[in-house]
Amino acid sequence: MTLVKFTGLTLAALVVTLSVGCKHGPKNITQIPGGNSNVRGNGGLLDTTPGGRVGGGGDVVTVDGDGNIGLAGLDEFENMLMDREAFAAETVYFGFDRSEIHPDDDGKVGAVASALAQSPQNKVLIEGHCDERGTEEYNRALGERRALSVRDRLVELGVGADRIRTMSLGEDRPADPGFSEDAYQANRRGEFVLLKPKS
Amino acid sequence: MRKSIRHTFAILAAVLGLGQALGQAQNEIDVDIFNTGEVKAIPVHIEGFTGEILSLLKFDLFVQGFEFVDRGKAQFTIKGSNTGGSVSGAVYDHLKRGFVLNKRYQGGNLRLQGHTFANNVVETITGSPGIGLTKIAFRQFHGRNTEIHVADFDGFNAKRLTSDNSISAGPDWAPNGDTLFYYSYLKHNPDIYSHNIRTGQRRTVARFSGSNISPAVSPDGKRVAMVLSKAGSPDIWVASVNGTGFRRLTTTKAAESSPCWSPDGRFICFVSRAGGRSALYKIPANGGAMSRISTVHVSNATEPDWSPDGKAIAFTTQRGGRFDICIVPSSGGSAQVLATGEDPSWALNSRTLIFTNRSRGKRVLSVLDVPTKRVKTLPRSFPGNCSQAAWSN
């Protein structure tokens, strides 16, 4: 109880101080650090610098198990010419939120496999795309899963895993910018880009 | 015993007319964000402020659970001025009949002073930390490309951070607020970079074949969780922030996405299709078995974000092109739909969320006060579509 009384008195003193403060205008001045543009720390204005050049990096990838075939290192695909026309007719399409290749499209994957078999110097990039009816990061992963499904089928058809690169673009590169079912169907796709060595 | 002491205080204070003494007791308000009933906003009356600072105070306070009423219906009156190049303000408590805050601000600029006063108001009345001085990083669309931008949390003082003419996305703050992590197709593959926003120095964190996406910095700032597909499937990986010591945490054939950390750094929550439909899971950050975080009443969960106080996980439910913001206790359980939108990110107060509202290709950032379920779009809009806002500490 003594403690309570003591604290009570302290509070009373504090209150008196505050009341006095009010009557005579604000005395409790808070100094905000810094000037208009160069305040540091989380509380300040952002003094930002745009991103500079990015140095090298990236390792050659090692393969591991769990039923997943590891991807070849990006180095394997450096300095190759991209040909988007060669396989333009072989674009495969996916069901909503699905990543399995539709049986109707299997012939297209077969055609790409045959072409690659005849030109062992060439490689392929598979781009996975989505419609806009998924969240952005979910679509980024779904697009990769689609590209990987196509890649796995190519490997089954005899194309070396080290000749295939995948890249998901999520919903960022729609084939059709519309909002109809037809547009969505056109956007859920896997595109093949032929990679040829520079001669 | 503590309770009875406080009770004695109250009486003592009342007898002596010491309204201010109760200011401290008020600090123990613990808002239950899972309250399914209606949580009432705190009614306040604002007077004396004008123009930009009045708008600023109203936005800051609205998104932290306050509403604006006539003086007669107010629990607190917030009065002050923003003339003469400085902000001063006081808070009068109508129940206690006394001032509980009275301050004048100098330096910085008017907006900084206003946000600081708003923080003091919030801290005095609710005991929660104010979010007025926090920043957001987000993705802004420039034609076909997207760049990383940063701004004050209300959208003011926006600055463009990347000019790569590429797709840059998925920003996340290091806890010190100096470094952002994001991924970019700058080198014709989605790779993860760290970017010191003071010096502009960038470093490659992950550049492997396939996806290197969705970086999430650990609460201690030492590690980064991410999605890599280098093993042949989009999996959750963890590495040191300098891009060494990569460790694969999930080994499913299904796609995983959107990792985030528990605030104690022990777990990573993420999305997996391992069970068929997309759902929330967690896995020990040092490796182990993944386990479901149930979201009863809500399916197709994506984009989790663990609240800084550890209690809740906010996420997006996707239903054939419609997106809703939800929360669920971090241990799993009954999920609650809060508002239309996607990709929520918690503020440091564990009550306010920023998220994206999308409608026919248009994307706008909005803020949601979870307990009162009220939404406001950012007062300062951006020239292009914006998404993927990440909230700084």
ipTM of the complex: 0.89
Residue of B nearest to A56 (CA): B204
Q: How far is the alpha carbon of A114 from chain B, nearest alpha carbon, in Å?
A: 23
CA-based torsion, B372, B134, B259, B160: positive or negative: positive
Q: Do A71 and B230 touch (CB under 8 A)?
A: yes
Q: Which of residues 276-315 of B touch A (CB under 8 A)?
A: 278, 302-303
Q: Which of residues 22-81 of B touch A (CB under 8 A)?
A: none
pLDDT of B11: 34
Kindly tell me if the per-residue pLDDT of B78 is higher than 90.
Answer: yes
Q: Which fold has domain A74-197?
A: 60s Ribosomal Protein L30; Chain: A; (3.30.1330)
Q: Do B303 and A135 touch (CB under 8 A)?
A: yes
B96 in contact with chain A, both atoms CB, cutoff 8 A? no
Strands (E), chain A: 29-32, 80-83, 92-93, 123-129, 164-170, 189-197
Confidence of residue A27 (pLDDT cuts 50, 70, 90): low
Residue of A nearest to B324 (CA): A135
Kindly tell me if the per-residue pLDDT of B326 is higher than 70.
Answer: yes
Q: What is the mean pLDDT of residues A89-98?
A: 97
Confidence of residue A51 (pLDDT cuts 50, 70, 90): low
Q: How far is the alpha carbon of A112 from chain B, nearest alpha carbon, in Å?
A: 20
- Break chain A into its structural domains and give their ranges: 74-197
Least confident of A166-180, B28-42, B180-194, B338-352: B28-42
Q: Which residues of B touch A49 (CB under 8 A)?
A: 196-200
Q: How is domain B2-126 classified at the architecture level of CATH?
A: 3-Layer(aba) Sandwich (3.40)
pLDDT of A13: 43
Q: Which residues of A touch B271 (CB under 8 A)?
A: 138, 141
Contacts of B202 (CB under 8 A, 6+ apart): A51, A52, A53, A54, B193, B194, B195, B196
Confidence of residue B132 (pLDDT cuts 50, 70, 90): very high
Confidence of residue A47 (pLDDT cuts 50, 70, 90): low
Kindly tell me if the per-residue pLDDT of B9 is higher than 80.
Answer: no
Residue of B nearest to A3 (CA): B5
pLDDT of A56: 36
Percent of chain B with pLDDT over 90: 85
pLDDT of B1: 37
- Break chain B into its structural domains and give their ranges: 2-126, 135-391
The pTM of this model reads 0.85
Q: Which residues of A touch B134 (CB under 8 A)?
A: 42
Distance CA B74, CA B217 (A): 42
Number of inter-chain CB pairs under 8 A, A vs B: 283
* Measured CA distances, B249 to A71, B120, B227, B252 (Å): 17, 42, 10, 10
Q: Do B208 and A167 touch (CB under 8 A)?
A: no
As assigned by CATH, the class of the B135-391 domain is mainly beta
B194 in contact with chain A, both atoms CB, cutoff 8 A? no
